């Protein structure tokens, strides 16, 4: 690869520092957004970290739904299999 990563004190870094104000929330540039190599990878392969995060969120929602269903379908107190069973008519 002939392309180098920008230095930490590159023009973008200085521009952000000279503005006097931090970027708006949610609009902060990440290290990856400042690198042309990452931009090229995203263009070629898609934004894999965002895709992985989306899949993880989907799996988390599905798991939460399954856990809610199993907790409502089972009795609140588990049956003790070791307790003596009473026979009908012995009470």
Euclidean distance between CA atoms 87 and 91, whole angstroms: 8
How many CA within 13 A on the CB side of residue 41? Answer: 12
Domain assignment present for 75: no
| Closest to 36 (Cα-Cα) out of 62, 2, 64 | 2
Domain assignment present for 55: yes
Domains identified in the chain, total number: 1
What is the pTM for the complete model shown?
A: 0.41
Domain assignment present for 59: yes
Domain assignment present for 38: yes
End-to-end CA distance of the chain: 85
- pLDDT of 31 higher than 90: no
Higher pLDDT, 23 or 15: 23
Domain assignment present for 84: no
**Domain containing residue 55:** 11-66
- The pLDDT of residue 80: 64
Task: Determine which of 12-21, 41-50, 75-84 has the lowest per-residue pLDDT on average.
Answer: 12-21
Question: What would the pLDDT profile of 49-88 be if each residue is shown by its tens digit?
Answer: 899 999 999 999 999 999 998 887 766 556 666 766 666 6
Domain assignment present for 57: yes
């Amino acid at each position: 690869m002939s392309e180098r990563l920008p230095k930490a004190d590159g023009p973008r870094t200085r521009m952000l520092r000279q503005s006097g104000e931090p970027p708006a929330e949610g609009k902060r540039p990440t290290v990856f957004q400042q690198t042309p190599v990452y931009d090229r990878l995203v263009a070629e392969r898609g934004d894999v970290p965002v895709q992985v995060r989306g899949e993880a969120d989907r799996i988390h929602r599905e798991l939460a739904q399954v856990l809610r269903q199993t907790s409502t379908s089972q009795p609140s107190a588990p049956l003790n299999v070791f307790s003596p069973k009473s026979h009908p008519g012995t009470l």
